[in-house]
Amino acid sequence: MRPVLGIAAVAFACMLAGAALAKGGHGGGHGGGHGGGHHGGGHFRGHGGGHAHGGGHHRGMRFTTGARRGGPNFGQIRNAAIRPADFRNALNASAFRNGRLISNPAARAQLAAAAALAGWSGASSGWWQHPGGGYGWVGPLFWPFAYNDFYDYTIWGDGLGFWGYGYPDIYAGIFGPYGYDRLSAYLPQQPQGRRRARSASLDQLCGSDRRAIVGLPIDQIAAAVQPTDAQIAALDALGNASVDAAALIRTSCPTQAAATAPGRLAAMQQRVEAMQKAVDLVQPALDTFYGSLNDEQKARFNALADDQRRATASNNAGRSSVQNCSASAAFDWPGATIEERLHPNDTQRAALQVLQDTSARVSASLKAACEPNDVMTPPARMAAIRKRLDVMLDGIKSVRAALDDFYATLNDEQKAQFEAIGPRRIS
């Protein structure tokens, strides 16, 4: 049995700090910025310095919009330049308490990249990297910063983070890029006398800094739509639902490093199931609030994403969320390598063919399920997220069942050879 990782459950308090800051822009992220007068403004009343308590219990915390009051210029915060020093220190706990970094999509990708490659000396990239520069797998953790990706797409229409997840991550679960020696870089302790690798604590990637504000950018929504008193109550309910959803996702952070392909897919399935439940908490509250708005208010709410599209159009020329869903040649099935290393018998070869065929079907279904870029309203985008997670979960379950059947036919030496395929592909 391998040593257990000291990983806290996923507290997206840190990761949601960016969502709680007004979305003044994705400056330094996908380019441009949200800009515009109605993006700045209010602040959370009664939430500054709040704590997200474990187990989903938030004593004394309730969202209260403060959009009609003055507040800090969040646009300046989000558009502020990201200094190289911020990323040189990205693996320190202080970096994860920096709301400006966590709220910035490109900054999150770079933090994830720094953490994902921390175990490799001198490595500049890995074959399981996403098109946007981030990584779906960071050690034993699947989908860092998941809630930020949810909200960037739902509110701002920025789906380059969310839609980057798909079949390549399932493939990286089968052929895990980390051998045990690499995974040990994420352990809280190293053997006596051995210098510890400079890796990000997964406790930080999972959001252990509970001093950060959690939740949707409630005040920025309020500043845009100028809600009535009745609508403010619905908006507060939406904010509270997002806090509860963050606490729920926190429970899906792994408590140990899965050293086998079946274990990785099991952890992946648990993570996606928690995300589904989180969406189920937030989606009804979002639908209720949006349904309470008049046409003019809905147009202003929708315009938050319209502004983002215009601001990032030139920077993202040639890139799209749909393109992010496609698997590259790096994820071709390594049939020859498996044959060479495992020397499977006929029974094993038949089970392997089922696994390969299943993986191909899942890859095609996830590619076909990519949403077009013209999903125009926040509720529609949240529904698209739920649909995507459904398709992803079905794919994970299918591949996991075929993988379990194949893996059960292998002897210990063959399993070791199979687990060595992914780590040997590191660039």
DSSP string, 200-215: --HHHHTT--TTS--S
- C-alpha angle 172-17-61 in degrees, rounded to nearest 5: 120
Domain boundaries, the chain: 17-313+323-425
Looking at residue 417, its pLDDT comes to 97
Q: Are 200 and 87 in contact (CB under 8 A)?
A: no
| Burial (Cβ within 10 Å: 0-12, 13-18, ≥19) of residue 62 | middle
Judged by DSSP in three states, 85 sits in: helix
Question: Which pLDDT tens digits describe the chain residue by residue (427 residues)?
Answer: 333 333 332 233 333 233 333 333 443 333 333 333 333 333 333 333 333 333 333 333 444 555 433 333 333 333 334 444 444 454 555 555 555 567 677 778 888 888 888 767 666 788 999 988 889 999 999 998 888 888 888 988 888 888 889 999 999 999 999 988 888 777 665 444 454 444 445 666 675 434 344 557 788 899 999 999 999 999 999 998 988 888 788 788 887 889 899 999 999 999 999 999 999 999 999 999 999 999 999 999 999 887 766 665 544 444 455 556 666 656 889 999 999 999 999 999 999 999 999 999 999 999 888 876 677 899 999 999 999 999 999 999 999 999 999 999 999 999 999 999 998 886 5
Please tell me the distance from the alpha carbon of residue 112 to that of residue 417, in angstroms, as a whole number: 28
Please tell me the distance from the alpha carbon of residue 89 to that of residue 302, in angstroms, as a whole number: 37
Q: Are 282 and 239 in contact (CB under 8 A)?
A: no
Please tell me the distance from the alpha carbon of residue 227 to that of residue 23, in angstroms, as a whole number: 18
Beta-carbon-side half-sphere exposure of residue 229 (alpha carbons within 13 Å): 0
- Of 183, 32, 232, 12, the C-alpha closest to 102 is 12
Looking at residue 172, its pLDDT comes to 96
**What angle do helix axes 261-291 and 229-250 make, rounded to 10 degrees?**
170
129: β partners: 135
Please tell me the distance from the alpha carbon of residue 44 to that of residue 221, in angstroms, as a whole number: 12
Amino acid at 310: R
- Of 371, 347, 426, 396, the C-alpha closest to 174 is 396
Looking at residue 219, its pLDDT comes to 84
- C-alpha angle 106-249-283 in degrees, rounded to nearest 5: 85
Q: What is the DSSP string of 368-397?
A: HTPPPTT--SHHHHHHHHHHHHHHHHHHHH
Four-point Cα dihedral 291, 164, 122, 96, nearest 10: 10
